[in-house]
């Protein structure tokens, strides 16, 4: 069976109300909500936005991969550029997070702007290429040209699934889709109508 194109709705620290979309049969939609909302999402795959680098234990404020697995989480972003920039996340921490996720059978999606941001061992992971300057700012899209995306992706490993993120919206999705196995959608995922347009165009 052909694998479904994956669209991850990265809500970041937003909580859109009454979010519901109908998902075309050949598309997989995963929602990446703030942690407390993971347990409330029904009918879509679940993606966490982050995970603790440690296992369960005395780590106040952390969410372990085991807890995520118990909630049925299938994917987890690691090393998003917003975490690297705002929380000083390092490749060493990212490698630990990946180990935690793999032990708990959750697919790590490593977010990287370049090859230097990839940890040494990426076996069993997917990669999301996302240039930080392409991330939308206050609802303004800053899309990267599909040609540049294609060139950048050509340097990434070929033996893992590659996704793209950065201002993905209903206008540019058709040009991006052929380049990757999935996309991560931030701002445009907050509006279910806009997200539905993206999913429909991908189907
Ligand atoms: P954006 O964010 O689609 O709003 O640019 C994507 C992301 O950073 O995951």
Contacts of 10 (CB under 8 A, 6+ apart): 32, 47, 49, 77, 165, 184, 185, 186, 189
Distance 190 CA to ligand 1 centre (A): 11
**What does pTM read for this prediction?**
0.97
Ligand 1 within 6 A of 165 CB?
A: yes
Tens digit of each residue's pLDDT (9 = 90 or more) over 85-105:
999 999 999 999 999 999 999
As annotated, the active-site residues are 80, 130
**What is the Å distance from ligand 1's center to 58 Cα?**
32
Task: State if residue 96 touches ligand 1 by the CB under 6 angstroms criterion.
Answer: no
> Would you say the CB of residue 186 lies under 6 angstroms from ligand 1?
yes
Please say if the pLDDT value at position 1 is more than 70. no
Digit-coded pLDDT (tens) for 163-197: 999 999 999 999 999 999 999 999 999 999 999 99
């Amino acid at each position: 069976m052909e694998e479904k194109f994956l669209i991850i709705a990265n809500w970041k620290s937003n909580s859109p109300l009454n979010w519901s979309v109908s998902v075309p049969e050949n598309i997989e939609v995963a929602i990446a909500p703030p942690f407390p909302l993971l347990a409330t999402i029904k009918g879509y795959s679940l993606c966490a936005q982050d995970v603790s680098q440690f296992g369960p234990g005395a780590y106040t404020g952390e969410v372990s991969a085991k807890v995520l697995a118990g909630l049925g989480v299938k994917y987890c972003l690691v090393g998003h550029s917003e975490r690297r920039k705002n929380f000083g996340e390092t490749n060493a921490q990212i490698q630990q997070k990946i180990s935690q996720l793999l032990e708990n059978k959750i697919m790590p999606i490593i977010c990287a702007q370049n090859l230097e941001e990839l940890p040494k061992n990426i076996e069993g992971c997917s990669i999301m290429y996302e240039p930080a300057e392409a991330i939308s700012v206050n609802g303004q899209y800053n899309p990267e040209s599909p040609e540049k995306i294609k060139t950048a992706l050509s340097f990434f490993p070929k033996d893992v699934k590659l996704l793209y993120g950065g201002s993905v919206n209903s206008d540019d999705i058709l040009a991006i889709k052929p380049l990757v196995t999935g996309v991560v959608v931030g701002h445009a995922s907050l509006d279910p109508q806009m997200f539905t347009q993206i999913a429909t165009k991908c189907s």
